[in-house]
Amino acid sequence: MKKQSLTSRSASLARERLRRRYRPADVRILFVGESPPASGRFFYRADSGLYRAIRDAFEIAFPGIKETDFLASFQALGCYLVDLCGIPVDRMEPRRRKRTCQDGELRLSRVMERLRPKCIVTVVRSIEANVRRSRRRANWDGNHLELPYPGRWLRHRVAFTQALVPVLAKELSIVKDRQMRKPNGRLRTEVTGKKYSEVQQHD
């Protein structure tokens, strides 16, 4: 396996520093992706397709979230996104990609042990087995949602949103009466969940 270059190592460290800035004190929902994209886009830079798909689902479940910085709201709601692999794998040849994902299982299990989320959401089906093994290693037993990656195919984006929205409403209902602070420090209006029956009417 090729060693990481200094540039890629530096980029990886910068991503992790940014990610940690948004880690909640108490994680309710832990989202698990495969890896940061090789393109340089990143969920916590608010410029990736996964960022937009998750943000859109939250905006349906919690309409008031549109008024705020989404990443700050994501954190305040007790949500956090980690990756199975610390380095981009989407341009690796299949065998190396599979091995890198397997190598990430121990690290992910330690994250689960440390954070003890109430719910885990896997956002790409190709890593479902890896995440399940990490769950068992961490002795974690909770609500686990496995979703298709909301990429280029419309049907995958629709399936992603329709499955995620009711889970958000259920798992995060405890914070619906909590006042959240805007980035400027002023209190914003409370976040309230929308019933999934209402969401379906707009699909």
109-116 long-range contacts (CB < 8 A, ≥24 apart) are: 109/133, 109/134, 109/135, 109/137, 109/138, 110/138, 111/30, 111/82, 112/30, 112/138, 112/140, 113/138, 113/139, 113/140, 115/27, 115/30, 115/80, 116/27, 116/140
| Domain assignment of residue 113, given as a range | 24-201
Q: Which residue has the tokens 């003890």?
A: 116
For residue 16, being part of any structural domain is answered with: no
pLDDT per residue of the chain (203 residues) written in tens, 0 to 9: 445 565 778 888 999 999 999 999 999 999 999 999 999 999 999 999 999 999 999 999 998 887 679 999 999 999 999 999 999 999 999 999 999 999 999 999 999 999 999 999 999 999 999 999 999 999 999 999 999 999 888 999 999 999 999 999 999 987 655 544 444 443 343 443 443 333 333 33
Q: What is the pTM of this model?
A: 0.84
For residue 184, being part of any structural domain is answered with: yes
For residue 11, being part of any structural domain is answered with: no
What is the tally of structural domains in the chain? Answer: 1
For residue 63, being part of any structural domain is answered with: yes
For residue 176, being part of any structural domain is answered with: yes
CATH number at residue 42: 3.40.470.10
